[in-house]
Chain A
Amino acid sequence: QSVLTQPPSASGTPGQRVTISCSGGSSNIGSNYVHWYQQLPGKAPKLLIFRNNQRPSGLPDRFSGSKSGTAASLAISGLRSADEGDYYCVVWDDSLFGPVFGGGTKLTVL
């Protein structure tokens, strides 16, 4: 059971906008930065969003992140088949003195 809760799956059609949620508590999301990773099938994870809403250089602005209270979300607009994969949120937890990950959300482009 992950400390951070993500929906196990999400889906959309090409061109649509999808959001993936990440729910936590006061000791993690409520007091620290949220980061998001994309893992395409058979590949290493890739940093998608850092510090709640920052994009690495070169990442298209189709990807965006937000945080409010003890929840965060990742939004992907203009959905493409190449976006299919797993998405993970990760946050430092002040009570556990370590990072905690969401269980991951499998994104399917229909």
Chain B
Amino acid sequence: QVQLQESGPGLVKPSQTLSLTCTVSGDSISSDTYYWNWIRQPAGKGLEWIGRIHSSGSTNYNPSLKSRVTISGDTSKNQFSLNLRSVTAADTAVYYCARGLRLLEWDYWGQGTLVTVSS
């Protein structure tokens, strides 16, 4: 059974960097079959894809966030991470990690973690 679990601070100050980690079990992020994604959802609003990483190390980012985002992987821990720089209140959201076979096809999701940007 594939499981993903997000972890990280629930509160981040404006202008700082939001850092989250997704721990994967039941699959390996080293597998070249899947991409590993970050997706977010502000409270009461819709979904926004942030970006993804492949086992090869290649990454793709949403153009609207690309200048502030870095996604990286740690195969020894079977984890992948999100760094979002220079955050503002508009970055307050539930952040999900998800596995994807192809672009926009996310078949396994974490439960999500709420990150609030506030001083």
Chain A residues near B (Cβ < 8 Å): 2, 33, 35, 37, 44-47, 50-51, 56, 88, 90-92, 96-99, 101-104
Interface majority SS (helix, strand, loop, mixed), chain A: strand
Whether the Cβ atoms of B111 and A44 lie closer than 8 Å is: yes
Choice from A56, A90, A91, A102 contacting B107 with Cβ under 8 Å? A56
A14 → B minimal CB distance (Å): 27
Q: Taking each of A33, A44, A50, A97, which has the highest tally of chain B beta carbons within 10 Å of its own beta carbon?
A: A44
Identify the closest chain A residue to B101 (Cβ): A50
Choice from A33, A44, A96 contacting B109 with Cβ under 8 Å? A44
Contacts of B105 in A (CB 8 A): 35, 47, 50-51
Q: For the side of the interface on B, what is the size category?
A: 20 to 34
In the complex, A104 Cα to B102 Cα: how many Å?
Answer: 22
Identify the closest chain B residue to A6 (Cβ): B46
Whether the Cβ atoms of A44 and B96 lie closer than 8 Å is: yes
Identify the closest chain B residue to A43 (Cβ): B111
Contacts of A101 in B (CB 8 A): 46-49
Whether the Cβ atoms of A98 and B46 lie closer than 8 Å is: no
Contacts of A102 in B (CB 8 A): 46
B90 at the interface (CB under 8 A from A): no
Choice from B62, B63, B64, B109 contacting A45 with Cβ under 8 Å? B109
Near A by CB (< 8 A), chain B positions 93-113 give: 96, 98, 102-107, 109-112
Identify the closest chain A residue to B60 (Cβ): A98
Contacts of A37 in B (CB 8 A): 47, 106
Near A by CB (< 8 A), chain B positions 71-90 give: none
Choice from A44, A51, A56, A99 contacting B49 with Cβ under 8 Å? A99
What would 16 more interface pairs be, CB under 8 Å, given A45-B96, A91-B104, A103-B46?
A: A2-B46, A33-B104, A35-B105, A44-B98, A44-B109, A45-B109, A46-B109, A47-B107, A50-B104, A88-B46, A90-B47, A97-B63, A98-B62, A99-B103, A101-B49, A104-B47
Contacts of A33 in B (CB 8 A): 104
